[in-house]
Amino acid sequence: MAILPAAQEHILKQENGKERLLDAVRDLLCAFALAVPHEEALRIRDDVDFFQAVRAVLIKHAPGEAKTQEELDIAVRQIVSRAVVSEGVVDIFAAAGLQKPDISILSDEFLAEVRDMPQRNLAVELLRKLLSGEIRTRRKKNVVQAKSFAEMLEESIRKYQNRAIEAAQVIEEMIALAKQMRRANERGEALKLNEEELAFYDALETNDSAVKVLGDETLRTIAQEVTKAVRGNVTIDWTLRENVRAQLRVIIKRILRKYGYPPDKQEKATQTVLEQVELLGWEVAA
């Protein structure tokens, strides 16, 4: 078990290492299954178990190769013990010697632990897995935040894969992104907005200089009024009714004009607000 992180690190350093390993172990397992119970096959059983365990932890990162947790546990348990079956979940965090974190928090302690891992490429994989999961969660709640964070993560990973930056640098970039995500969670409290209101607040392009001049107080009021106005029309599946969508556009633009929102920004803000309504799964009626 202790050698798994080093094995993963070695594989991830190689060009297309993960894909090559997955293919090779798949072929090995097929050949082994055909050869058992031949004496020569049984002699390398421990080696086969080891490669199967390495494949089990790496496969969690491979799209289209998802396995059940039971399959992953069995693969790792084979190398840990043939007699004792653990009830605990063995995953990539345990294999790396880390406590499985609360993904919604990404604490400083956990991030520091990842930063200090000697297996740099494995640390990159861990952080990418965590951040991608957090972005998927946000995509269900805040379209602007999710898009922004996804673009930042993709850019960091792209530079890393193109060898424009080293593993240590991409780790720092992803840790900074994790902290930025955490701060984003605190913005609602600072602005005195609930989760839905904050999503509409972000839809107003609040980082745009022309919009920013309105000030947080006005933008907060706009977000609250938009939330209330849309909520006031809830009952049926509005996404199938173009007349309802048109009515919502009128309501949203009226609120934007009321508070002096820049005219040339109103169309985009309105469209983003409508996307946010769809994301939240609200059903708005005529």
Note if the bond before 263 is cis, omega within 30 degrees.
no
* CA 69/CA 73 separation, integer angstroms: 6
Point out which residues pair with 234 in neighbouring strands. 284
Nearest to 200 by CA among 101, 284, 270, 127: 270
Q: What contacts 107, CB < 8 A, 6 or more positions away?
A: 101
Match 């040339």 to its residue by tokens: 264
Residue 198's pLDDT is: 94
Domain ranges of the chain: 4-95, 108-191, 195-280
Residue 119's pLDDT is: 74
What pLDDT digit, counting tens, does each position of 68-104 carry?
Answer: 444 444 443 343 333 222 223 234 455 555 555 555 5
Point out which residues pair with 284 in neighbouring strands. 234
Residue 45's pLDDT is: 81
What pLDDT digit, counting tens, does each position of 221-247 carry?
Answer: 999 999 998 887 655 555 556 777 788
pTM flag (> 0.75): no
* CA 126/CA 123 separation, integer angstroms: 5
Query: DSSP H helical segments within 116-241, as ranges?
Result: 120-139, 143-161, 167-191, 195-202, 209-212, 215-231
Nearest to 276 by CA among 147, 153, 188, 189: 147
Residue 99's pLDDT is: 58
Residue 170's pLDDT is: 93
Residue 271's pLDDT is: 93
Residue 239's pLDDT is: 55
In whole numbers, what is the pLDDT of the chain averaged over residues? Answer: 78
List of the chain residues with pLDDT < 70: 1-2, 33-34, 36-37, 60-105, 233-241, 281-286
